[in-house]
Amino acid sequence: MAEAERIIGTPDIPEAAGDGPEQSGPDSEETAAAEQDGQRPGSEPDGAAEAGAEAEAGSAGKGKRKIAVLFAVAVVAYALDLISKMIVVAKLEHHEPIELVGEWLRLSAIRNAGAAFGFGEAFTIIFTCIAAAVIVVIARLARKLYSLPWAIALGLLLGGALGNLTDRLFRSPGVFEGAVVDFIAPKGFAVFNLADSAIVCGGILIVLLSFRGLDPDGTVHKD
């Protein structure tokens, strides 16, 4: 009996799991390569993460540049309006009009308690509040501004609104009721100032941009 068992032999017992050699395959090779590169298997490559961060930083940089353009245009428009009104009050008010192009275009200083081009003189306080509201809306909109044409348009609106609002706050007869200084007098048209011109030009540009489907954030839609 013992001799028969010796001849037949005892079947081999499989080795315990983990005691044998590790099996190699595509997954194990990828894992080893990823560990050598210092990355976890399945993780996003560092290059893609860096590219996303650079794109986000570039977008933020463009937004800041557009905001800078907006305020630069507003400062220029406001400064030109303020300086021109100071010169008109000092040199032209209570004097004869100056003819630039005969009777077609003159400089004539007047005080306007109404809106642009002399409309609505009975609603001075309302127009003052509207101008202040426009400034607040533009300041809030600037945070999402990524379009250069929109930056220029909003800058013109902001500079013009600030120019006329300054008159309404600091000129006689009192705060919120001050009369705006107008001096550009075309023949057959209302007398206006540089702030009015900036507001109108900014409004026209906004209308054109809207027709083209360009939004302040730089996106273009075709509605």
Preceding peptide of 149 cis, ω within 30°: no
Decide if 149 contacts 205 (C-beta within 8 A).
Answer: yes
Choosing from 81, 167, 182, 217, the catalytic residue is: 182
Q: Catalytic: 12? A: no
CA distance 165 to 116: 12
CA distance 18 to 1: 36
Choosing from 167, 196, 215, 223, the catalytic residue is: 196
Structure tokens at 91: 């040199």
Decide if 162 contacts 193 (C-beta within 8 A).
Answer: no
Whole-angstrom CA distances from 74 to 43, 70, 82, 162 are 48, 6, 12, 8
Nearest to 180 by CA among 188, 189, 190: 190
Point out the residues that are catalytic.
182, 196
